Structure 1
Amino acid sequence: MPAGMIEVEWSRDMNSRERVRRAYDFTGPDRVPLEMRILMGTWHKYRDELKRIVERHSSDGGQGAAGPETGDYDVMPAGWSEGEEVADSWGCVWQNIHGGLKGRLKSSPIRDWHDLDRLKAPDPLEVGEFGPVDWAKTAAQVERDRGTDFVYGSGSRLFERMHFLRGYEPLLIDIAERNPGVWRLRDLIVDNNLRLIHRWLDLPVDCIGFGDDWGTQSALMIRPAAWREIFKPAYARMFEPIRKAGLHVHFHSDGYILDIIPDLIEIGLTGLNPQSLVNGLDPLAALCRGRICLRIDLDRQGILPFGSPADVKEHVREVILRLGSLEGGLIVAANIGPDVPLANIEAVYEAMDRYAPI
């Protein structure tokens, strides 16, 4: 609910689940939540030094925030080891050129649109992106996590899966030329994603998230009018059952995306994870503050890897000052790659300790 339209009930004894939920609901968290996403390559590089920093501080979840599940800094997920090639469940082949980071696309199965007739979509109830899915195990994990954490399910991706399958440049040309295959592929993926979404809706999650990088450094990858014609109705289809179920809808998108934020809000978006400085703090505030929860990405292009600890702390302060409010609506998200110095990682925690309490 937008700020200014709720009655805040204060509590100073919140766990991460309540803190993040209140940030989404604009009902007064005790502090701005911090979500740390620490990549496997970062753990592989810093190992116990990083573990000691993490153990000195607290956060409100995030992928890899507590370290590898196995405790082994050298064990990588499928496709994350240098030199490895792996095919995903759709038949796209990935090649890893930097261990500890996700690989890059090497080949796509739709070389021309006749290949779409032969494409078999994977069953999302049986397989994930790189292997089988154990829904009993997933359900048990959700039950464990929801006692303390705000729990996200996955609605997968749309545009990214389309260009993984067709190739990035060929797909953009197809969009510009209004090739009917674009609509066919879009609907195939949306139908597949909806099966996944409805499976997640059977579990007691708080939010279902999507991820599609739509921006370059300075503009949307396609014309906003084309986005509204082709993709907005597709996202609306996927968001609708989630909002009807009373859950939040979260969307991650790197790059400049200001042009489509109002459209995403219009079709039901309640949480957005954009890049901070690419879009600008003030423009993001103008579009989002008091309307949706911003899970704002600290600047991982410049400040986190190349700034000083003082720069990092000032950046965190500016983010909270420009985007935060007493009611909520802000989560600080730090994506920690192996190019971020240990001192800057600790600076994120220290800045949040100083500036996040409300």
Structure 2
Amino acid sequence: MKNKKTTVIKSLTKLSIARRNFMDIVENVIRAIKFESPEYVPMEYMAFHLKNPYELSDIIELSYGSSKFWKPSRPGETEWGFIFDTAGGRAWGMGRPCSPPLTSWDKLDAFSVPDPYQKERFEAPIYSAALGATLPSAKMQIDYWKKKKYILGGLSLTMFSLMQCLRGDTMILIDMYKNRDKVEKLGDMLLQHHIGLIEMWSSYEADGVIAYDDWGTQRGLFAHPKLFREIFIPRYKKMVQTAHEHDMHFFLHCCGYIYDAIEDIINAGIDVLQLDQPELAGGGGISGIDRLAKTFGGRICFMAGVDIQATLVKGKLVDIENEAKYLIEAFGSFDGGFIARPYIGPQAIGLASDSPQYQIMYKTFRTWGRYPKKLG
């Protein structure tokens, strides 16, 4: 494995940062997604240490806010009714979901799904629990960055991950076997909400949307692949269809070991698969990056950074540099197909966006980011 990495890394052609100006940034991202010979590897990089954290990024990922008619009744409460517990502010990010509102399926008929079509969600300042700060509205950000950078509208937690929050981790897994009809009904309710958000992002001229839905544990999917295929994939197909009808791309963030679901993800028409732990897909003596690229490369665009559970937190700087180069070679050898994305929550893994690990990762993606010619 080491010899192979050394060989392909030497074959990469350096790309100076200045060359990013040779092709329009938005066009370059689209070409990477569509395997149409982009000029360089596009990157989403949240530089929290800068006054403008989007300054170095090709992709501007935005969130929507809560309804002006809703106010939390307790700390950490979400508009959906569950709570994000941040251990009194000690935990970075959203926190752990708890207090699910659907403790009984008898509550489903009366359950109120937030209205995705309220404009204030996109036109009022947004408080970010992850950043602990109030951000400018999505509309304001889009008006500033439109046509300068690729605009990616966030759908927040979707489908399975949202069901876990609404029903509880254990209960929703039991329900997928014992209360399938209720899960399907809830899925349809969430689908209409997600489609509404997609339509709203389109109205504000976003270039794509990203769903956050973690399907995997460290060893496999939360449930049998057949259940994900039957319950969630049809609904994702409808979301993707909506995005495509509005000339937007569909990104899916999915953590854990999800190798056994990627074929279905591709069949759903999803354009970009965002992974933070690409090496988790390894098996049989093959690295995760190699296995993903060999099986799925050229069929779906991968969006990833150096593995947050392995090399990024355990490796030396030279290891981080080498893995960043190898990601370009493995996923980007199909006339496109790779978007670099250093993990957007560095504090959650004990780092910072200006730490040496992040700086070497960013520099490597920018310096060596020339897409290699298609291999074989």
TM-score where L is the length of structure 1: 0.80
How high is the sequence identity, in percent, across the aligned residues? Answer: 28
Match of 1:60 among 58, 61, 65: 58
Deviation at 1:290, TM superposition (A): 1.5
Distance 2:186 2:180 in 1: 11
Q: Report the AA paired with residue 346 of structure 2.
A: G
Counterpart position of 1:340: 351
Deviation at 1:194, TM superposition (A): 1.6
Change (3 A) 1:179 1:59: closer
Per-residue CA distance 1:164-204 (angstroms, 9 max, x = gap): 00001011011122442111111111112122222222232
Distance 2:34 2:146 in 1: 17
Report the 3-state secondary structure (helix = DSSP H, G, I; strand = E; otherwise coil) of the residue aligned with 2:241: helix
Deviation at 1:63, TM superposition (A): 5.5
Change (3 A) 1:178 1:106: closer
TM-score where L is the length of structure 2: 0.76
Change (3 A) 1:220 1:256: same
Deviation at 1:59, TM superposition (A): 3.7
Deviation at 1:61, TM superposition (A): 3.8
Distance 1:63 1:345 in 2: 19
2:106 is aligned with 1:105: no
Q: Does structure 1 conserve the Cα–Cα contact (< 8 Å) formed by 2:312 and 2:320? A: yes
Q: Report the AA paired with residue 328 of structure 2.
A: I
- Ranges in structure 2 where 5+ consecutive residues have no aligned partner: 1-18, 63-70, 125-136, 282-287, 372-376
Deviation at 1:28, TM superposition (A): 2.0
- Ranges in structure 1 where 5+ consecutive residues have no aligned partner: 1-9, 44-49, 65-77
Q: RMSD value over aligned CA atoms?
A: 2.7
Q: Does structure 1 conserve the Cα–Cα contact (< 8 Å) formed by 2:302 and 2:339? A: yes
Deviation at 1:91, TM superposition (A): 0.6
Change (3 A) 1:62 1:37: farther
Q: Report the AA paired with residue 303 of structure 1.
A: T
Q: Does structure 2 conserve the Cα–Cα contact (< 8 Å) formed by 1:239 and 1:267? A: yes
- Once the two structures are overlaid, the 10-residue window that deviates more, 136-145 or 242-251, is 136-145
2:23 is aligned with 1:31: no
Distance 2:251 2:102 in 1: 29
Deviation at 1:325, TM superposition (A): 2.4
Q: Does structure 1 conserve the Cα–Cα contact (< 8 Å) formed by 2:37 and 2:336? A: yes
Counterpart position of 1:85: 75
Per-residue CA distance 1:219-272 (angstroms, 9 max, x = gap): 111101111111111111211121223321111101111222121222211111
Distance 2:297 2:334 in 1: 12
Q: Does structure 1 conserve the Cα–Cα contact (< 8 Å) formed by 2:305 and 2:324? A: no
Counterpart position of 1:69: none
Q: Report the AA paired with residue 351 of structure 2.
A: V
Deviation at 1:62, TM superposition (A): 5.4
Per-residue CA distance 1:279-315 (angstroms, 9 max, x = gap): 2112211333222211124211122122211111011
Counterpart position of 2:308: 300
Report the 3-state secondary structure (helix = DSSP H, G, I; strand = E; otherwise coil) of the residue aligned with 1:352: helix
Counterpart position of 1:230: 231
2:22 is aligned with 1:13: yes
Report the 3-state secondary structure (helix = DSSP H, G, I; strand = E; otherwise coil) of the residue aligned with 1:124: coil
Report the 3-state secondary structure (helix = DSSP H, G, I; strand = E; otherwise coil) of the residue aligned with 1:268: coil
Counterpart position of 1:145: 145
Q: Report the AA paired with residue 29 of structure 1.
A: P
2:375 is aligned with 1:357: no
Deviation at 1:16, TM superposition (A): 3.0
Distance 2:163 2:228 in 1: 14
Change (3 A) 1:268 1:320: same
Distance 1:240 1:259 in 2: 23
Q: Does structure 2 conserve the Cα–Cα contact (< 8 Å) formed by 1:304 and 1:340? A: no
- Equivalences for residues 120-199 of structure 1 within 5 A: 120-126=112-118, 133-135=121-123, 137-156=137-156, 157-199=158-200
Counterpart position of 2:278: 276
Report the 3-state secondary structure (helix = DSSP H, G, I; strand = E; otherwise coil) of the residue aligned with 2:342: strand
Counterpart position of 2:215: 214
Q: Does structure 1 conserve the Cα–Cα contact (< 8 Å) formed by 2:102 and 2:167? A: yes
Distance 1:304 1:273 in 2: 17
Counterpart position of 2:293: 285
Report the 3-state secondary structure (helix = DSSP H, G, I; strand = E; otherwise coil) of the residue aligned with 1:154: strand
Distance 1:27 1:229 in 2: 32
Moved over 4 A (4+): none
Match of 1:320 among 323, 328, 334: 328
Q: Does structure 1 conserve the Cα–Cα contact (< 8 Å) formed by 2:26 and 2:148? A: yes
Distance 1:327 1:222 in 2: 35
Deviation at 1:115, TM superposition (A): 1.7
Report the 3-state secondary structure (helix = DSSP H, G, I; strand = E; otherwise coil) of the residue aligned with 2:114: coil
Q: Does structure 2 conserve the Cα–Cα contact (< 8 Å) formed by 1:273 and 1:297? A: no
